[in-house]
């Protein structure tokens, strides 16, 4: 068993007073991150409530471009993941690291640079995402200047953390620190590799990867961003704060070792399961599925280790709301990590992918695991950080029950919505035709469930306000001056001497089972870190290298050409408005999809897509074969007022497309950037604005011919129409040419 981290259980052998170091912990930085957690949690969840209302009724878009669902949805996800959960991790990490290592953080200056730098990054995200500056990559939407800032701040955090490891006064690394190490190094690798891009302006860039490779890299990043930003950091917090709250040791040291190394190695393989039945090579998605299914065992190992930490202390749960939060949080982790492997199975994924089922799955983890673990940790920290009693234990209890009810209402409603979507999309009538050929029929069936989600989300946010009130009232009762305890601890001796050597074991398995080898790793943080990096990098390269080096993974199609300059401008508008958050561009090879949307998508169709836009959710229909389906004027009317074309549509209006002008001169820099990442643009690298103007005039004239308004040749609407009409056309050209040859 691992003893609960405490001065009594981790103290080195007694030393004379003359050899003891005297120091204090930096709790001021912990308080700063705690308040940031609270503020961004409220902001992120309120934005989530607003976009939930927009799905229930498009009136809540307020006909304002920067408040539309497409622009606010990435703001919500970034605020909850990187602002709320990120600051929560930093809160617990700064508090526990100092105590586990018996050392003040390496640099107070780096601690404050990390805090203010991270908050500045969050503010920049809150400003740029509603303005339409996005890379269109899920959980990696922020543009290149902010990505650089993230890397700089994260490196500062890493230097501060590893500097503290080097200056530690505790020889062995407690299990929580293993998970912190894995999180810090892996997030750095994921962030840098996935966000490699070519700038085309101050807040515009294009991924250096295209199509299939970009999709692979994005979900290698996206799945593992969940793993190493929302899972491993919070497992570290669980291993520290759960034993503290339960006043007992962690259940099993050996299970912790198995849990950690299997999780770190297996998680990194699992990303491709997000791309089943897409244009990704089948071998890659199959490998992702296999490792995802295997992940169930180590994930539940962590859950079991957490829950069994309460052995002999379950009676405390009834009276201690902090333990209630932890128990529900760990249970939600267990549910999510059972469901994730299940969803990775291809037959299940075929039903669930692109539906609200995935949204329910994500929120079980985010609200239950990350949210409740954060609440429990913060409540435990309040009296220790503010040096006074928590203002109201009854408010803690009320927060727990209101939050729990909110989670249940939310996920039950959205699970129901997801299953409804999946079954309606694939339903055929007795004549063999689609039972619901009009996509909006499915959307209308979801409205009661969407309103129930609003109710559930509102409950959870009410709990957040109770949480905030209790924190502020506790803070107001703090002493005028915080006491700063002086800690005494012996420095590490130059050489390690084992005061309690293990009894020699006989046989290879017996010696291995003593895990002295792992205790040796724990005494050498840099070796431990190097082994963690090796596990992550090796697992990543086994999937990445074949995807990029074997050309047969992405067979090319001769008729597929780059977008024209005007179509590229329209595509950039599509990205800026966040349309990829509601529409996929990937027809899967199922009869119910090809009957509804057209021929299934091929890998070679997206070789010039920087970034890929296959989507991860269908609130609206797939657009991969949209080109030529409707006349230009239909698209003009649809963007101006979707409900004038499709009654009951929940799509926001984009009337500003008809009044805002195209910046033709800006198009040249974007074509140049695309050429630099390998798109063969030919003459367009010299004449992009002129080519765009000529195509815009042609489309504007066609709109007038069809009975539409005049004077649109310099308006944004012609660019977005050009892009819509191009989608899926290249593959049709190839089929026409093939028929002609016959």
All structural domains of the chain, each given as residue ranges with its CATH number in brackets, are 7-18+25-479 (1.20.210.10), 565-741 (1.10.760.10)
CB 527 within 8 A of CB 165: no
Q: Is the pLDDT of residue 205 over 90?
A: yes
Q: Among 134-143, 293-302, 404-413, 543-552, name the one with the lowest average pLDDT.
A: 543-552
Tens-digit pLDDT profile for residues 398-444: 999 999 999 999 999 999 999 999 999 999 999 999 999 999 999 99
Which pLDDT score, from 0 to 100, does residue 515 have?
Answer: 83
pLDDT band at 510 (very low <50, low <70, confident <90, very high): confident
Alpha helices, H only, 102-143 = 108-128
pLDDT band at 739 (very low <50, low <70, confident <90, very high): low
Q: Is the pLDDT of residue 301 over 50?
A: yes
Q: What is the mean pLDDT of residues 227-245?
A: 96
Which pLDDT score, from 0 to 100, does residue 514 have?
Answer: 75
Distance from C-alpha of 337 to C-alpha of 331, rounded to nearest angstrom: 10
Nearest to 279 by CA among 219, 357, 213, 345: 213
Which pLDDT score, from 0 to 100, does residue 324 have?
Answer: 97
Q: Is the pLDDT of residue 3 over 70?
A: no
Which pLDDT score, from 0 to 100, does residue 507 have?
Answer: 76
Which pLDDT score, from 0 to 100, does residue 6 have?
Answer: 47
Which pLDDT score, from 0 to 100, does residue 735 have?
Answer: 60
Alpha-carbon distances, residue 124 vs 65, 379, 533, 711 (angstroms):
18, 29, 30, 36
556: left (phi over 0), alpha (psi -120 to 50) or beta: beta
CB 279 within 8 A of CB 211: yes
Average pLDDT along the chain: 93
Residue 495's contacts (CB-CB under 8 Å, 6 or more residues apart) are none
Q: What angle do CA 408, 238, 7 make, to 5 degrees?
A: 145
Percent of the chain with pLDDT over 90: 88
Which pLDDT score, from 0 to 100, does residue 10 have?
Answer: 42
Enter the DSSP assignment of 613: -
pLDDT band at 500 (very low <50, low <70, confident <90, very high): low
CB 188 within 8 A of CB 247: no
Q: Is the pLDDT of residue 60 over 90?
A: yes
């Amino acid at each position: 068993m691992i003893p609960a981290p405490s001065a009594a259980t981790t103290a080195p052998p007694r030393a004379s007073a003359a050899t003891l170091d005297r120091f204090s912990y930096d709790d001021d930085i912990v308080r700063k991150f705690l308040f940031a957690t609270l503020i961004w949690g409220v902001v992120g969840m309120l934005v989530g409530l607003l976009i939930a209302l927009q799905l229930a009724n498009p009136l809540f878009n307020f006909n304002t471009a920067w408040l539309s669902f497409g622009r606010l949805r990435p703001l919500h996800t970034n605020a909850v993941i990187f602002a709320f959960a990120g600051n929560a991790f930093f809160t617990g990490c700064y508090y526990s690291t100092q105590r586990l290592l018996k050392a003040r953080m390496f640099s107070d200056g780096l601690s404050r640079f990390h805090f203010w730098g991270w908050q500045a990054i969050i503010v920049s995200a809150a400003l740029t995402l509603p303005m339409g500056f996005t890379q269109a990559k899920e959980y990696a939407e922020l543009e290149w200047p902010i990505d650089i800032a993230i890397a700089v701040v994260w490196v500062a955090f890493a230097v501060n953390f590893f500097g503290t490891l080097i200056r530690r006064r505790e020889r062995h690394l407690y299990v929580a620190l293993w998970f912190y190490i894995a999180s810090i190094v892996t997030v750095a690798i994921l962030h840098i590799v996935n966000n490699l891009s070519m700038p085309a302006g101050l807040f515009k860039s294009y991924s250096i990867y295209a199509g299939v490779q970009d999709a692979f890299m994005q979900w290698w990043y996206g799945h593992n961003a969940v793993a190493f930003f929302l899972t491993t950091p919070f497992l570290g917090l669980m291993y520290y704060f759960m034993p503290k709250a339960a006043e007992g040791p962690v259940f099993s040291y050996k299970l912790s070792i198995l849990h950690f190394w299997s999780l770190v190695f297996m998680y990194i393989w699992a990303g491709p399961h997000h791309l089943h039945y897409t244009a990704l090579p089948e071998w890659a998605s199959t490998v992702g599925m296999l490792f995802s299914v295997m992940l169930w065992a180590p994930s539940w190992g962590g859950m079991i280790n957490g829950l069994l930490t309460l052995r002999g202390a379950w009676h405390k749960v009834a009276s201690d709301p902090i333990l209630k939060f932890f128990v529900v949080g760990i249970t939600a982790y267990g549910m999510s990590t059972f469901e994730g492997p299940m969803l990775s199975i291809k037959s299940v994924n075929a039903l669930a992918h692109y539906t609200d089922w995935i949204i329910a799955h994500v929120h079980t983890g985010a609200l239950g695991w990350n949210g409740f673990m954060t609440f429990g940790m913060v409540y435990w920290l309040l009296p220790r950080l503010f040096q006074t009693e928590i203002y109201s234990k009854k408010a803690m209890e009320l927060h727990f029950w209101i939050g729990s009810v909110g989670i249940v209402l939310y996920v039950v409603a959205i699970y129901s919505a997801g299953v409804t979507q999946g079954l309606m999309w694939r339903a055929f009538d007795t004549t063999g035709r689609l039972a619901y050929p009009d996509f909006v029929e499915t959307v209308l069936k979801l409205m009661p469930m969407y309103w129930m989600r609003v109710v559930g989300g509102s409950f959870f946010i009410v709990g957040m306000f109770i949480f905030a009130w209790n924190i502020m009232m506790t803070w107001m009762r703090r002493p005028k001056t915080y006491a700063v305890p002086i800690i005494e601890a012996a420095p590490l001796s130059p050489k390690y001497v084992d005061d309690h050597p293990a009894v020699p074991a006989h046989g290879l398995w017996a010696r291995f089972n003593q895990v002295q080898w792992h205790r040796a790793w724990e005494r050498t943080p840099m070796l431990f870190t190097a082994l963690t990096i090796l596990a992550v990098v090796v697992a990543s390269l086994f999937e990445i290298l074949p995807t990029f080096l074997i050309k047969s993974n992405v067979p090319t199609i001769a008729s597929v050409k780059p977008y024209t300059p005007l179509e590229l401008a329209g595509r950039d508008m599509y990205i800026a408005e966040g349309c990829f958050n509601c529409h996929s561009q990937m027809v899967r090879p199922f009869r119910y999809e090809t009957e509804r949307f057209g021929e299934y998508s091929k890998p070679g169709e997206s070789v010039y897509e920087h970034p890929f836009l296959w989507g991860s959710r269908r609130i609206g229909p797939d657009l991969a074969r949209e080109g030529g389906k409707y006349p230009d004027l239909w698209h003009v009317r649809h963007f101006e007022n979707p409900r004038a074309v499709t009654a009951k549509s929940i799509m926001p209006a984009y009337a500003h497309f008809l009044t805002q002008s195209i910046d033709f001169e800006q198009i040249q820099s974007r074509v140049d950037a695309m050429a630099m990442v390998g798109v063969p643009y030919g003459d367009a690298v010299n004449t992009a604005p002129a080519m765009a103007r000529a195509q815009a005039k042609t489309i504007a004239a066609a709109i007038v011919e069809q009975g539409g308004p005049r004077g649109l040749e310099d308006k944004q609407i012609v660019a977005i129409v050009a892009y819509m009409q191009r989608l899926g056309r290249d593959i049709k050209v190839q089929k026409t040419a093939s028929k002609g040859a016959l």
